[in-house]
Amino acid sequence: MLVAFSHRRPDVLVYCAESEIDKSLVVENAGLRLEFTARSITIVHKGADGLSLGPCFFVEFSVEVIRNKNIGQPRHEDAQFLMASGIGGRVRMLAHGTTLHGAQAQDPRWACQPLVYYAPTTPIGQVFTALQLEKPAIRVGAVGLGTGSVAAYVRASDRLTFFEIDPLVVRISTDPEHFSYTTRCAAGPIDYVIGDARLTVAQQPRDQYDILLIDAFSSDAVPAHLLTVEAVRGYLTHVKADGVLILHLSNRNLDLKAPAQAVAKAAGGVAMIQEYRPDAAVRAQWASAEDAVIVGRSAAALKRFAADRRWTPADPTKVRPWTDDYTNLAGALYRRTKEKFSLSPDAER
């Protein structure tokens, strides 16, 4: 299951599960461990959610605090550490607001298997697997750290650099008491560069990365300047001729797929898209639905994915590409709303 608090209604949780609703929950939030039991449960709505691992219910809990045990110093007010039942038993999650930034199984047998957006079956996982099968060593850049899940892919011969704007996220992801992908699962070296990724990536050498993952678009506050023609054109200069730029575009409220496809072409790249929707058996292994666009400097760079039916050629004609002078978040919001509620008029371009 997946559980997250509502900021406006702290007694309302978003609960995603394969089975019927449990009567108890454990939540770690702002340095406090709280255990709740539900006196009453009201199912208000059932529907699909971009972060879910199964059907979702908006659940109103009447809660009783069973135990309040200090587990550490309070951190950023938006940081939430959530516990859920899942693969191998318990799964720890990191959330900011309503956005899930990663999860890790607590059972040592599963602790180094990337979960949710980074599971091996997802588009991100597919790209890592494909390139590692081809190359004995790869150089990876990742914009957006989260729990550091992709570090689990790093072999002894690989090297990974995370570009992260928030030092707090680095502290959380590198503290093995919380998450251990970067400290115990990665076999090769990992670097951290703090700052706005548009600027810090630009400072890196050209033609350096076999994989450059841009994973900064899942939150409610999207850094649109990282998804413009100028930004993507810059990213491609740092990707090797046969390398792959991954744009992870999963977002509950905004359709970023259409502008990303248009941007990729306008930036001079060749792109493919995948809208990944795992079946129940795969979701049970904590793989999440995911939208991703991959971009190469030429068609040859994406040839390895051409025969894979999960990937289709991008369509750059749906909307106007975003630039440093033009973005349309309202249009992205409208298109996502249309998808959710099947509205009839076409979204603005």
Q: Comparing 26-30, 180-184, 214-218, which segment has the lowest mean pLDDT?
A: 26-30
- Mean local confidence (pLDDT), 307-312: 96
pLDDT of 30 reads 35
Whether 71 has a pLDDT exceeding 80, the answer reads: no
Whether 35 has a pLDDT exceeding 80, the answer reads: no
| Amino acid symbol at 224 | A
Q: Buried (b) or exposed (e) across 315-339, using 16+ Cβ within 10 A? A: ebebbbbbeeeebbeebbebbbeee
Structure tokens at 178: 């919380």
Q: Comparing 109-113, 202-206, 322-326, 339-343, which segment has the lowest mean pLDDT?
A: 339-343
Q: In what order do the strands lie in the sheet with 99-105?
A: 2-5, 12-16, 56-70, 32-47, 24-29, 79-86, 89-96, 99-105
Whether 43 has a pLDDT exceeding 50, the answer reads: no
| Confidence category of residue 277, pLDDT binned at 50, 70, 90 | very high
pLDDT of 241 reads 98
- Domains and their CATH numbers in the chain: 2-105 (no CATH), 123-341 (3.40.50.150)
Tell me if 158 sits within 8 A of 106, measured CB to CB.
no
Whether 220 has a pLDDT exceeding 90, the answer reads: no
pLDDT of 95 reads 80
- Mean local confidence (pLDDT), 242-269: 96
CA–CA distance, 289 with 54 (Å, rounded to integer): 10
Q: Comparing 6-20, 101-115, 173-187, which segment has the lowest mean pLDDT?
A: 6-20
Whether 161 has a pLDDT exceeding 90, the answer reads: yes
- Say whether 170 sits in a helix, a strand or coil: helix
pLDDT of 22 reads 46
Q: Comparing 82-91, 281-290, 327-336, which segment has the lowest mean pLDDT?
A: 82-91
CA–CA distance, 129 with 110 (Å, rounded to integer): 18
Whether 167 has a pLDDT exceeding 70, the answer reads: yes
pLDDT of 44 reads 36
Q: What is the pLDDT of residues 114-155, one digit of tens each?
A: 999 999 999 999 999 999 999 999 999 999 999 999 999 999
CA–CA distance, 205 with 69 (Å, rounded to integer): 47
Name the residue with higher pLDDT: 25 or 328.
328
**Mean pLDDT for the chain overall:** 80
